[in-house]
Each structure stands twice: as C-alpha cells, then as structure tokens.
Structure 1
Amino acid sequence: MKQRKVFWGLVVAWAGLMAPGLAQAQADSPALEACLQAWGNNHPFGSRPTYRTLATSVKVFGRGPSTADREVTDTPALILVNPGVNVMGASEIELLNPNGWYCLRSAVNVMGGMDIKLHCRARLASASGGTTVWGGDNAAKGVTVMGAITVERVGCPDT
C-alpha cells in the first residue's frame, strides 16, 4: 500500500514538472502555426515541428543586452524568436544560422531603431501583423512608433 502511494506521488510530481513545458508549447503554437503558414509548403518541418526558443532582451536608451543566435546547425532548425523590445535607442538582433527558419513572434520599437541581421540563407517569417505609427518598418512585422525596424542580410557571397 505504501509503495502505491509513493508511486502515485512520483507520478503527480512528474506531471507537475512537465506541465509548465506543455503550457509553454501550447502558448507558442499559434505563433509557430502562423509562421509555418507564411512559409506555405516550402518548410521541412511537418505538422508537429520541434523547435527551440531564442530569448530576446529589452533595451531602453540603448542599454541592455544584445541578442544573437550564432548556433549553426547541419539541418534546418525552427527557432521561435520571442518579442524584442526597444525604447529610445538602437537595438540589434543577429539571426546567423544559415539553416535557421526564424519565426519572429513580434518586435516592439518605440522612438528608436531595431536592426535584424539575418544570414543570407536563413528564412524569416512574422507570427503577427504589424503596426507602424510615424516610422518605417521594412520586411519585419512588429509595432513601431516613431522609429524603424530593418532587416539586413549578412553572410552572402559576393556577387
């Protein structure tokens, strides 16, 4: 009898540890689905893709850590880029995996410039539409107020 209680106690504890990851995956699902839909049938991930998440930072007045994904994979990798926030300064996000399929959850840029450096062979899709007020937003979707979000291709062979 005591062994049964211990067993079920372990099962409940394991379920409690797994629940946050499952909840996070469910929260990520709409963003990933939007990006996969944006790529159409051109992506190699199937209907239940594995992915990793890239945490971004908050920069205010140019202060705060930079964000970079420099991991190079041998096969296509789906990477969910969490929201980047930039307020009154310059911010840069480096997405440098040539086999990276980057899903940009969103970007928020207020009175500043956000530059996304994307490897020449990498792919980028946005999980959300964009809103721009008194600013410019080329190719990246996000919320921009009196600023600009740009995407710059890097690592391209000279032609």
Structure 2
Amino acid sequence: MTLCRPRTLLTWLLSGMLAAGASPVMANETDQAVAACLKAWVTHPFGDRPSYRVLGTSVKVFGIGSSSADTEKTTSPALVVVNPGVNVMGGSVIELLNPNGWYCLRSTVSVMGGMTIRLACGAQLASLSGTATVMGNNADQKGVTVMGSTTVERVGCPEGNRI
C-alpha cells in the first residue's frame, strides 16, 4: 500500500479547492443546488420555483481571507444559497443569522483548521456536499474536513432550547 506524503496531499487538496472556489457558479448549477435542498427539506414554504439570494464564497488560507455572513433578518422565510466555504490552516466562521433563513449550503472544506457555521435558532440548513473526515472532527457531517474540525453552532436560542 502506498501512502501519500502530507506535503503532496496538501498541495493536491489546495489546488483542487482553490480551483473550485475560484470558478464562477452558473445559474443552472445554483438552480440545481436549490432543487436538491428543497428535496432534502421535503416540506418547505417555497413552491417549485422559488426566488433566492446567493451568499458569496468564503476562502481563508492561514487565517487570511474573506468570511461569509448573512445578517439580514426577514419577517418571512428566505431561501439563501451559501456558496463554498474553504478554510486552510486557520479558523473560519460562516454566520447564517436569519431566524427565518433556509440555508442551502453548497459545500465546506476545512484542511488543518477549524470551521464553524453559526446558525440562527429557527433557521434551516441543508448541505449538498458529500461528507468526509480524515484525521479530524466533523460530527455534524457538513462538508469535507481533513485534520481539522467543522461544527454547526446554534445561536440566539433560549437557554435549554438549543437544537
């Protein structure tokens, strides 16, 4: 059995993730993502052809880069597609803070670092990516984690009522 050297593995992962994070997302791909999330939720308030917002890609390498946050609080259900979050050797937080938000998470990738998804109490979350964990912690089964951790943290819930 041949093992991949850590440096080779990291180079391979970084090049694939950065290429995926940098590529433009076509409307058709986003529509397919929305359809998959609606199917995952089974029951939702949006109908067959819902309108939605897209939250930009978050990329952090060595703690440097952009984060994603949805801080808009709506009075009715809002469908939001969350483009990929990539974190390499650092910490990253994606904030999804609309209690009426229905968040369709395209993907998260965390390599040798920690990624936290802060999700408003009452918000819904569906993840489209397959899950994989290599030498790390990904108890919530959201995205791909290699030698790191990915967690979903509920915020704004009354004490004792966290989901």
TM tier, smaller: 0.7 to 0.9
Query: How far is 1:129 from its partner?
Result: 1.7
Q: Which runs of 5+ in 1 are unaligned?
A: 1-22
Number of residue-to-residue matches in the alignment: 136
Q: Within 2, Cα distance between the matches of 1:88 and 1:80?
A: 25
Q: Within 1, Cα distance between the matches of 2:96 and 2:57?
A: 11
Letter in 2 for 1:62: G
Specify which structure has the higher proportion of helix.
Answer: 1
Please list every run of at least 4 consecutive aligned residues from structure 1 whose deviation after the TM superposition is greater than 4 angstroms. none
Q: Percent identity among equivalent residues? A: 65
Query: How far is 1:148 from its partner?
Result: 0.8
Using the size of structure 2 for normalisation, the TM-score is 0.79
Root-mean-square deviation (Å): 1.3
1:88 aligns with 2:89: yes
Letter in 1 for 2:155: V
- In the alignment, which residue of structure 2 is the partner of 1:54? 55
Q: Within 1, Cα distance between the matches of 2:26 and 2:89?
A: 30
State whether residues 34 and 126 of structure 1, in contact with CA within 8 Å, keep that contact through their aligned partners in structure 2.
no
Q: Which runs of 5+ in 2 are unaligned?
A: 1-24
Using the size of structure 1 for normalisation, the TM-score is 0.81
State whether residues 32 and 80 of structure 1, in contact with CA within 8 Å, keep that contact through their aligned partners in structure 2.
yes
Q: Within 2, Cα distance between the matches of 1:108 and 1:158?
A: 30
Instruction: State the Cα deviation string for residues 2-51 of structure 1 (Å, max 9, x = none).
Output: xxxxxxxxxxxxxxxxxxxxx832111221122111101x2111111110
- In the alignment, which residue of structure 2 is the partner of 1:114? 115
Letter in 2 for 1:107: T
